[in-house]
Amino acid sequence: MSAESTPALAPAPGPDAPKVYRVGTLTYTRGALILVCFWMLWGDFFFQIFETMPTATALLLRWQGASDTLIGLVGSLSSIILFFWSPIVATRSDRHRGRWGRRRPFLLWAIPPVTLSLVLLGAVQPAGVWLHRLLASLGGGAFTVAGCSIAWIMGCVVLFLFFNAFIAQGYACLIPDVIPAEVMGKFSGIFRAVGALGSLAFNRWALGWVEFHTFHVYLLVGLLFAVTFGLSMWQVKEGEYPPPPPPAPGGRLGAVREYFQTCFRHPFYLSFFAISFFFWASLVPLGFVVFFGTSAGQPGYAPTLGLTLQDFGEVKGWTYLVTIPVFFLVGFFVDRFHPIRISIAGMLLTAMSYFACFWLVDNKSTLLLWWSLNQAAIAVFLGAFTALSPRLLPRERYGQFLSANYILGMVSLALTPPLVGWLLQRIGDYRYVFIFCGVLTLLALAALLALLAQWKKLGGDLNFTPPDPVPNSSHASTP
């Protein structure tokens, strides 16, 4: 063959050619990738502070005289709302196409109402008095100020979760749309570390002010979130997406039928969802740890540690600080050994640490030590599991499957709080929250081991492809 007839070949990139990172139609140089990671992490830091605020809801309710069972029921009410709402948000996000992308429109428009709902939650003290006076003027003299305040808290929490679903799910779905898979493990670790910094900032410097400066703290955090998160989402750009899947026949009822048939028919995805079901449930009893650590427990219960709220906030803040280096380190192991293996190690350590907390915590120092080790173990799991979803779920329906995972989580959060509250009232000892957490974590570990076995059957490290989620379809889902 003569030289003239040899096909021309593109020159190979030189050894000094800059590396290019790709995700979908987006391409990044190293500098551009660092910049988009910065804006995503910047937004996550303030979003974590923002999302930590409703965790003080149990305290707001307790200060109004609410029982453990009522506090659990409030958590269940919120979960029930999200159970029905999350799939709608996620499916619309997957199918949306516009000049702003498919995720950012949902993120940007939801910022004002979700911020307002948080500020209204912080205004519970004057709002409860105002609502009581309003009802009294209308003939509702049987209502108390405390009852009106509890009703206000419940309404604001539901409103917050309604709009926050757009933020939480849109942001989670945006990550695999703009972050390349080859650096997902490292990004997930840093992402979790930055989130821990946000939680640390709230618990270390804001939680102690909530009791006597409730409205001011909620207002400041809400405005700070709105400005910073809005700026970060403005800076991050999405690429082009293929056309969305065709709508299901049969209108809305057909769409609901297709949603459940697609998400819940394959054992592989059911195992994935079961992990979240039990892991989310295992976090519910931790909401009562504040009563074990402080003197806010119920009369007639076993003695608590009796710490001040300020001291408890410092301890909890230090537990977040411990997780930061763990999150940074776990990303490198995730990219090297696969997130599913690191998730198993983290889950096993988490279960062991819960039982250690039950047996060994008896003062501020031991609470700090063992709760810090517990949070470090949870950090190993969360850092790995965050990177696991983009590796295992179908990309074209990522938001839909993520919302299905949320549905099982919401079922868990709806069932667990009243059960935990009822058990605590029967046992009368807040120390048992660690036993509840440990047992539920072991169930999550069992689901994770089942997922590992199925993942290996589907190709494992070398040849895994997400199982086709579409009924009666002959094509395979692309990772």
338 touches 461 (CB < 8 A): yes
Rounded to the nearest integer, the mean pLDDT of the chain is: 82
Mean pLDDT confidence for 72-94? 73
How far is the first Cα of the chain from the last one, in angstroms, to the nearest whole number? 41
pLDDT attached to residue 298 = 67
pLDDT at 414 over 80: no
pLDDT attached to residue 125 = 87
446 CB-side CA count, 13 A: 8
pLDDT attached to residue 120 = 93
Q: How confident is the model at residue 5 (pLDDT cuts 50, 70, 90)?
A: very low
pLDDT at 168 over 60: yes
Taking CB atoms within 8 Å and a gap of at least 24, the contacts of 237-240 are: 237/26, 237/36, 237/101, 237/178, 238/26, 238/100, 238/101, 238/102, 238/103, 238/104, 238/174, 238/177, 238/178, 239/23, 239/24, 239/25, 239/26, 239/101, 239/177, 239/178, 240/24, 240/25
pLDDT attached to residue 349 = 96
pLDDT attached to residue 478 = 39
Task: Give dist(CA 474, CA 232) in Å, integer.
Answer: 40
Beta-strand relationship, 26-28 and 21-23: antiparallel
Residue 82 corresponds to which amino acid? L
Geometric angle at alpha carbon 407, from 402 and 410, rounded to 5°: 125
pLDDT at 345 over 90: yes
Question: Would you state the structure tokens that stand for residue 122, as one six-digit string?
Answer: 């912080």
Taking CB atoms within 8 Å and a gap of at least 24, the contacts of 128-136 are: 128/64, 128/152
124 CB-side CA count, 13 A: 31
pLDDT at 247 over 50: yes
**Which tens digits make up the pLDDT trace of 25-66?**
889 998 999 999 899 988 888 888 887 776 677 788 888 888
CA distances from 255 to 227, 245, 339, 399, 402 (A): 36, 12, 32, 15, 17
**Which tens digits make up the pLDDT trace of 135-166?**
888 776 677 888 888 889 888 888 888 888 88
pLDDT attached to residue 3 = 39
pLDDT at 4 over 50: no
Q: How confident is the model at residue 471 (pLDDT cuts 50, 70, 90)?
A: low
pLDDT at 441 over 50: yes
- Neighbouring residues of 349: CB distance < 8 A, sequence distance ≥ 6: 377, 380, 381
Task: Give dist(CA 51, CA 271) in Å, integer.
Answer: 28
Question: Would you state the structure tokens that stand for residue 128, as one six-digit string?
Answer: 């409860």
pLDDT attached to residue 251 = 65
pLDDT at 79 over 70: no
What residue ranges define each of the domains in the chain, with the CATH number in brackets?
Answer: 21-236+249-461 (1.20.1250.20)
CA–chain centroid gap for 172, Å, is 9
What's the predicted TM-score (pTM) here? 0.67
Alpha-carbon dihedral angle through residues 78, 84, 90, 94, given to the nearest 10 degrees: -170
Q: Which residue would you say has higher pLDDT here, 411 or 280?
A: 280
